[in-house]
A = this chain, B = another copy of it.
Amino acid sequence: MSWSDGTDDQPVRAAGAAPGGGLSHRVPELGALELLLAVARLGSLGRAARELGITQPAASSRIRSMERQLGVGLVDRSPRGSRLTDAGALVTDWARRVVEAAEAFDAGAQALRDRRDSRLRVAASMTIAEYLLPGWLIALRGQRPDTAVSLLAGNSTVVAGRVLSGEADLGFVEGVSVADGLDSVVIAHDRLIVVTAPGHAWARRRRALDAGELAATPLILREEGSGTRQVLDAALGGLARPLIELSSTTAVKASAASGAGPAVLSELALGEELSARRLVEIPVEGVRLSRDLRAVWPTGHRPAGPARDLLTLTRS
């Protein structure tokens, strides 16, 4: 073997596409990615192994097999510790994204268990549960690690019912009206955005779209009955014309990004697509495409304890 001295600053090298199929055969398991992050942070295979509760040989072998799998050296080993290579630093950044998504998955899934001993029972609409709640739960766990949270997801009616009946301590709903017997506070805004592929003609417009143009143009949309569709129909007066109707937000994004046409999506569902310019936002004026996201609780029973902690987190 060769102890590299860790000072060679040769740039990262890399190459080629492969046949494809079976993502999990080409991407290391989550445990290996976690290990890589620990090595990057702690500067030693052994320390990283201890932190994850495995032995040093296990860590050594796992990093090595990850390097074999990727075909790239990730770590410069030396008798004084281990540092990432340039390629390793890049891979670690990409790995961090995967692990962060896994953390959000974990936070959500934890709350999806029906546990009687939970100290905070939350009811939330689908959009909020999908996009916002995992992040809140991670933040709440950071502040109050011992707070067990349970989540019930449903439409606004279900959420209101659970909160009113005391089966949930705090609710989160989207929509303009709030059921009788509930107090609420606006915690965020769900804005619908018109997007196209960067190459689309609208991406080069200088003027904002108006309601007439939007209503006259066939759009890539979620199916009728979806939340975003309802808001759009209401804003346009029930006139939205579908170019294609798709059943998942992901399919709509993919279709729009491939240039099939303009799409309308919640800004919560976009994010990386916009910053990476896979999709670009088309300004719109004269159309009310936003709705409030609200926390709700029984009138007069201002949230206290863990519910108050969560509410504080979510408010601007």
A residues with a Cβ closer than 8 A to B are 11-18, 20-24, 26-27, 29-31, 34, 52-53, 70-72, 86-87, 89-91, 93-106, 108-118, 121, 126, 129-132, 134-136, 139, 141-142, 145-154, 158, 188, 198-199, 203, 250, 257-258, 267-268, 270-272, 274-278, 280, 312, 314-316
Contacts and interface: CB of A to CB of B under 8 A. Distances in A.
B27 A145 contact: no
Contacts of A110: 14-18, 26
Contacts of A113: 14-16, 70-72
A200 to B, nearest CB: 11
Contacts of A316: 198, 203, 277, 280
Given A17-B148, A30-B30, A198-B315, 13 more contacts: A11-B154, A12-B154, A15-B150, A15-B151, A16-B110, A20-B141, A27-B105, A90-B108, A91-B108, A94-B105, A98-B102, A271-B272, A277-B314
A86 B145 CA distance: 27
A14 B112 contact: yes
A97 B106 contact: no
Contacts of A16: 110-111, 113, 115, 117-118, 148-150
Report, nearest first, the 8 A-B pairs whose CB atoms are least far apart.
A15-B150, A14-B112, A15-B115, A11-B154, A16-B148, A24-B31, A16-B115, A14-B151
Contacts of A96: 250
A198 B316 CA distance: 5
B24 A131 contact: no
Given A13-B150, A14-B151, A105-B27, A276 B111 contact: no
A149 B105 contact: no
A312 to B, nearest CB: 8
Copies in the complex: 2
A275 B267 contact: yes
Contact of A12 (B22, B153, B275, B314): B153
A90 B18 contact: no
A118 B108 CA distance: 41
A15 B112 contact: yes
A311 to B, nearest CB: 12
B258 A268 contact: no
Contacts of A315: 198
A86 B153 contact: yes
A71 to B, nearest CB: 4
Given A106-B27, A112-B12, A272 B135 contact: yes
